[in-house]
A and B are shown apart, each in its own frame.
Chain A
């Protein structure tokens, strides 16, 4: 069958369409595979004990002996502590910087914005190295602690908070600021009680996004959190644990039960991140609707 030129071109076009559709399918494969493995290998670990107890001692499987699992309660506690502390650091700084950029502007505003952009590209492990190096000089005892790890995570969260808050503040039209100023409302009240409040859905979404990213970070924790995955939370100056760190430990250890616990932690982590993402979307929609669909 001889195809004339036109039909050849059409055929080629159609095959490219098919190929590009295939690309999407191929891309989805790892996503589905990872989630599948996490569900299959991780859900057996779920139980009441999983959420409330610490891990059992590592045991390599010898045939005939089943290992007890225990749980990942220290890691769960640790993750929440870390995320809370890191947010406490990142949110005021990030939101404050964004407000400064949008409400005061000037040449320095671009410097700040660009700096945040640059910071967002920093490899996360270097944040750990950074805090480690500082604390080593400052107070060796604090090097491995929740405080230290929160600083590292905070440094990674700040750029995200700055950029998303900045975008949210910029969606507030200038007419709102003018209306408020013309009523004799002071600049600071305008900036906070009117502009920030109007932009709040976007700001909250941005913070949740930063938290979701920080929740999954393991690299910055490697040299700042220490290793206390068998003890419950003892204080922010003490060593600690977190879900991503436990996953790393379970993945690299030769113990079968830790490995299963690690998959459980992985599944839990995925669920947590999904919940945070969904929450942020719900928050965004509900607040937007309540505020008259802006």
Chain B
């Protein structure tokens, strides 16, 4: 696959800290529009930290700090209001976290209800569309008012995806979205990611190399907080340029 014509997000010289500990150093990265970009690397390499900087969730941790810039379509995210950033850049977490006190419907419509005054019609349409985009609609269309916690783990994760999509983000970040799920649920979500990239830019952190190879168009390899290599997935896995990348891919560590 050739390099895309558009860059959706640009990370410039990003470093992120927890108190005085530097988790991520000097990252320069261009995330292509409407493609799936995977971030891989061994445990502790900073991939979660990096992705959380892209929607400014990193700073919700006490004593966390960021240096550098993150641009979304040219806008410096760290100059904007953080809540507005998070409406443009959505996130799905490792462990599904639907709002346990709300129904499926209320979960998906939450971004609308809490960020504006949507009409009933707007909510209905958005809920249906989002659940369809998340490949969950067929399974829940008869029980959208039942509790979100009545769904299975895989369904809950797709619910979280639907909820994130309902906010109409431009970018969807996924932080190891399948690591708490069984293989069948995992494959459903991987299939879903393939469809999502038609409409959204997707960035996915995964510790599973095979998953990255299956799902992504571009891959970034992180090691000890530094970006080692970035390129089209096929190229990175078959003809890695860096020795470190090759060692990781061939399983020599991590």
Contacts and interface: CB of A to CB of B under 8 A. Distances in A.
Interface string B84-95: 111110110101
Interface stretch (B6-14, B64-72, B107-115): B107-115
Interface in B43-96: 55, 57, 60, 62, 83-88, 90-91, 93, 95
B173 to A, nearest CB: 8
Contact of B86 (A105, A184, A189, A193): A184
B1 to A, nearest CB: 29
A100 to B, nearest CB: 15
A181 interface: yes
Interface string A98-141: 00000001100000000000000000000000000000000000
- The dominant DSSP class at the A interface is helix
A294 B90 CA distance: 26
A179 B97 contact: yes
A293 to B, nearest CB: 7
B133 interface: no
B225 interface: no
B210 to A, nearest CB: 27
A182 B95 contact: no
Given A197-B101, A198-B101, A292-B100, A182 B147 contact: no
Chain A: interface size category: 20 to 34
A222 interface: no
Contacts of A198: 99-101
Contact of B111 (A105, A106, A184): A184
Given A105-B62, A292-B148, A292-B149, A182 B100 contact: no
Q: Which of B95, B114, B115 has the most CB of A within 10 A?
A: B114
Contact of A189 (B91, B100, B114): B114
Interface in B108-124: 110-111, 114-115
A185 interface: yes
A252 interface: no
B164 interface: yes
A183 interface: yes
A185 B115 contact: yes
Interface in A163-200: 173, 175-187, 189, 193-194, 197-198
B147 to A, nearest CB: 4
B83 A186 contact: yes
A293 B84 contact: no
Contacts of B83: 181, 184-187
A205 to B, nearest CB: 16
Choose among A178, A184, A197 the residue with the greatest number of B CB atoms under 10 Å from its CB: A184
B69 to A, nearest CB: 20
A175 B95 contact: yes
Contact of A184 (B87, B93, B160): B87
Nearest to A177: B60
B154 interface: no
Contacts of A31: none
Contacts of B98: 179
Contact of B99 (A105, A189, A194): A194
Interface in B134-159: 147-150
B178 to A, nearest CB: 17
B60 A179 contact: no
Contacts of A18: none
A291 B91 CA distance: 24
A181 B167 contact: no
Contact of B57 (A106, A176, A178, A189): A178
B197 interface: no
Given A184-B83, A184-B167, A293-B149, A179 B99 contact: yes
Interface of B: 55, 57, 60, 62, 83-88, 90-91, 93, 95, 97-101, 110-111, 114-115, 147-150, 160, 163-164, 167
15 contacts: A106-B62, A175-B93, A179-B97, A180-B114, A181-B86, A183-B86, A183-B87, A183-B163, A183-B164, A183-B167, A184-B83, A185-B110, A185-B114, A292-B149, A293-B149
